Amino acid sequence: MPTNTFKSYSPVVFSSLLMFLLISCTGNLSPHPVLRVNADSENRSLALTEKKPAPSPSLPKKTEPPSTKTERPHLPPAVGPDALFYSEYAERLGLLLDGSENKELLKAIEEWMGTPYQWGGCSEIGIDCSCLVKLIYEDVYGISLNRTSLFIYKYDLVPVAKDELREGDIIFFQIKRKPVSHMGIYLKNNRFVHASQSRGVTISDLNRRYFQKHFVFAGRPAREESTVSAQLALNDLVVVN
């Protein structure tokens, strides 16, 4: 009988046959094959469902716009009886003043500062570079110059080396094809006052590349030079009793 035949198998053979069937179906020798497969499946599902947080977009760094503010030079403390005057004008004109500067020249410059440029102009409404120099020289030094920059350059001045410039000297630039087409009055520390076409009457730095490129001549009035030479000679005299 089949029933009797099945019962005739020993328990050892039956358990071996059952183990063989399990190994053939799963291909896994683990004592808990079903649990391990379930655990691996669960881990893969979690890995697929878990999303890494998207990286936050990098924002461009903010760059400060170039400063348009004109930096004034550091001003030393004023000393002497005219300390207040020089400290005020140093601040107004943005210059380094030590008290040796011509006070009338500083006053004249301040009166014209900011006046618009006008070709051929010679008033507070508008002024050009040659008239500015002419009026300041008449007001401060009592010297009458020609009206145009070319005539002042040709007839009114004696040459001065660039490295020997001093306050009040007149400097010229060749911007166009003319021998000279622009001029101003030298102050000190490579600063000069002039009537700029774009900014009106202003103080600029002679060391700027633009002015270095176009600089052609410097001079001072012959009468002023004679007066200075006479003063130096007088100082050298020794009076003998």
Catalytic residue from among 32, 74, 129, 131 = 129
Distance CA 192, CA 206 (A): 7
Catalytic residue from among 25, 74, 131, 182 = 182
Instruction: Tell me how far CA of residue 70 lies from CA of 67, 115, 188, 196, in angstroms.
Output: 8, 19, 18, 17
Catalytic residue from among 32, 122, 194, 214 = 194
Active-site annotation holds for 194: yes
Instruction: Tell me how far CA of residue 219 lies from CA of 23, 156, 170, 216, in angstroms.
Output: 112, 9, 5, 11
Active-site annotation holds for 182: yes
Active-site annotation holds for 129: yes
Contacts of 201 (CB under 8 A, 6+ apart): 109, 112, 113, 114, 115, 117, 127, 132, 193, 194, 195
Per-residue b/e over 55-91, b at no fewer than 16 CB within 10 Å? Answer: eeeeeeeeeeeeeeeeeeeeeeebeeeeeebbbebbe
**Per the structure block, which two tokens stand in for 171?**
């400097």
Question: Residue 139 CB: number of other CB atoms within 10 A?
Answer: 15
- Say if residues 192 and 202 touch (Cβ distance below 8 Å): no
Distance CA 188, CA 177 (A): 28
Would you please indicate which residues are annotated as catalytic (active-site) residues? 129, 182, 194
